[in-house]
Amino acid sequence: MTEAAVDTLLREAMAGYRADPARADFMLNYACSQAVDPLPLYRVLYKFYNGQRRFEPARDFAARALAESARRAGLAGPPEGWRRDALTGVETLLASQLLLALKATAFLALRAGDEAAAGRHLAVLKDLDPEDGSGVSVVAALADGALAGDYP
């Protein structure tokens, strides 16, 4: 499927997702399965599912985005072993996709009540992104609230 066809599916899905979420779900997954490069679509899907409060598929697509962006960036092993200098020379868009997927993984772990996993991911993200370009501070504040009992 061409990029233009995938883009058309995405636009249709996003335009009609409130009226027909099941159709949008199908269209997004189909577009992802047909895309030459599904990595950018993983973010669309984990945000879509999170917005629908369907956290299991959101976690699945965030994990896919994290694994694929890490593979492309040449990062091996679990995120806890990654260091900032490993991102030196990584294309800006790819580094951004990696950081956003890691942030989503942390957020979704927090939503699942797994504060330990969220904390591990947030610590890595803070090390990889000390400038907070990914918005890690927002998720970190939510995690702090969860630990204080202020976040459901």
* 93-120 pLDDT, tens digit each: 999 999 999 999 999 999 999 999 999 9
Domain count, the chain: 1
- Domain range for 106 is 37-147
In order, the DSSP letters of 2-44 are: -HHHHHHHHHHHHHHTTT-HHHHHHHHHHHHHH-S--HHHHHH
Is 151's pLDDT higher than 70? no
Q: What is the pTM of this model?
A: 0.88
DSSP labels, 108-128: HHHHTT-HHHHHHHHHHHHHH
- Could you tell me if residue 7 is inside a domain? no
Phi, psi (rounded to 5 degrees) for 99: -65, -40
How far is residue 152's CA from residue 129's CA, in Å, rounded to a whole number? 27
The answer to whether residue 27 is domain-embedded is no
Q: Is residue 67 part of a domain?
A: yes
Domain membership flag for residue 115: yes
- Examine residue 17 and state whether it is found in any structural domain, yes or no: no
In a domain, residue 55? The reply is: yes
Residue 1 in any domain: the answer is no
Whether 140 maps to a domain, the answer reads yes
